[in-house]
Structure formats: C-alpha cells, structure tokens
Structure 1
Amino acid sequence: MLQELLPRLQQGLENKSFDGSLKFDCGEDGVIVLADGTASDQDRDTDCTLRLSADNLMQLLAGKLNPMTAVMMGKIKISGNPKVAMSLADLLK
C-alpha cells in the first residue's frame, strides 16, 4: 500500500525545496521517509516523525484529511521538529 505512494511523493520532491527529513510512520504497514531529495521506504532517524495509519496517510496525501484537524483529533501524532511537518504542506501542493 505505501509502495504506491512513493512515486507520487518523489514527484512532489522534484523541483521543490524541502529542508530537513520527515518520516511517515504507519506502524506495521511500514514507513515512508522524505530526506535528501528522495522518498524511501527505508527506516531511519529523521528530524520529524508523523505517526498515523496508512489509511489516514492516503487521505492526507489526497487532500481529503486536513492536517491540523487530524492532529487535533489524534489521527496524527507529531514528534520531533514540528516546523519540518509544517513545510510538508508546500510539498503537497
């Protein structure tokens, strides 16, 4: 499921500046790491980690889940540098 998202995230990283590193941690479904201009499914330490279900990640990337609302409702948990998470919005445009 997460493998399907990698090409879209990689495309989002092209021609855009994304400082720092960010991990989508979907538990047993795996991880996606955005770092060094690439999207990968290789787990590593990052500046910021978003913990959420794979389904919520799909909705977030499709624009069907508002990130701020999701955080307030507990659907997304942020650890590390929240400034990196905030820059994700620019990347998804």
Structure 2
Amino acid sequence: MVPRRFKPAGGAGGLIRLPPKPQEGAAMGLDEIAEKMRERLAGRSLDGSVKFDCGAEGALLLSGTEISVGDGDADCTIALSRDDLEALISGDLDPTSAFMQGKLRVDGDMALAMQLSQVI
C-alpha cells in the first residue's frame, strides 16, 4: 500500500510562518535595567548621585531613591558597557571583580561607589 501524501492548503508549499520566539537571555534595554534597579533599591536610599555611563548606549542616573534614564551631573560616574551593567544589576557580575578586571571605571566619589555596591 502506498501512503497518501498530505497536501496542505495555501500557497508557498503550505509553509506556515510563525513569529520568532523571544531569545532566552535577550539583552535588556536601559529602561528595563532601571526598573530592575528600582526593585533592588525599594526602601533604600543613596547619599548622593551616581551616573552609570554606558557610552553611546546611554546612561542611568541614580539620585537618592530616584532612577532616571538619561545623562546628567553626578557625584560619582561609573563607566561600563550596557551588558556589564545588566550583569551587575542581575547579580551575575561582582562589582569588585568588575573593577579589578577593568570592566568598569569609577570617576568621582569612590566612597559613594562602594556604598552603592552594598545597596544594589
């Protein structure tokens, strides 16, 4: 007995295009990183202001209990890639190790940067 072949209806050989699946571990944008920071800072405050400078990808400004996406003056500026900022906020990157490996650079109030490592 010869098996019957199923011929799907529709054009393009019956192929159905599905929307792409979201990639696991897809990179977060600065807005999503800021939201994660808000969650981690809930009920805590920072004595000063810190800017996370991600170069061309933008910046986050943390002042007291407020977090905003954008550039501005700060007591301490931490320069790092957006990927490293994401890893730092998610707990996958230790701030001290990142500093020692040159993944982040601190300009300004180093004591404030050290306080920040205890807060986030």
Q: Taking structure 2 as the reference length, what is the TM-score of the superposition?
A: 0.72
Give CA deviations for 1:26-66 in whole Å, capped at 9, x if unaligned.
00110000013200012111000000000000111111111
In the alignment, structure 1 residue 60 sits paired with structure 2 residue 83: no
What stretches of structure 1 of length at least 5 have no aligned partner? none
Q: Point out the more displaced range, 59-68 or 49-58.
A: 59-68
Higher RCO (C-alpha under 8 Å, 6+ residues apart): 1
In the alignment, structure 1 residue 34 sits paired with structure 2 residue 49: no
In 2, Cα distance between the equivalents of 1:6 and 1:67? 17
Give the share of equivalent positions with the same residue, in percent. Answer: 39
The match for 2:50 is 22
Q: Point out the more displaced range, 11-20 or 70-79.
A: 11-20
In the alignment, structure 1 residue 46 sits paired with structure 2 residue 74: yes
In the alignment, structure 1 residue 7 sits paired with structure 2 residue 35: yes
In 1, Cα distance between the equivalents of 2:69 and 2:45? 20
In 1, Cα distance between the equivalents of 2:75 and 2:45? 16
How large is the RMSD of aligned CA atoms in angstroms? 1.1
Mapping of 1:80-91 within 5 angstroms? 80-91=108-119
In 2, Cα distance between the equivalents of 1:71 and 1:79? 12
What stretches of structure 2 of length at least 5 have no aligned partner? 1-28
In 1, Cα distance between the equivalents of 2:111 and 2:50? 10
> What letter matches 1:4 in structure 2?
E
The structure with the largest alpha-carbon Rg is 2
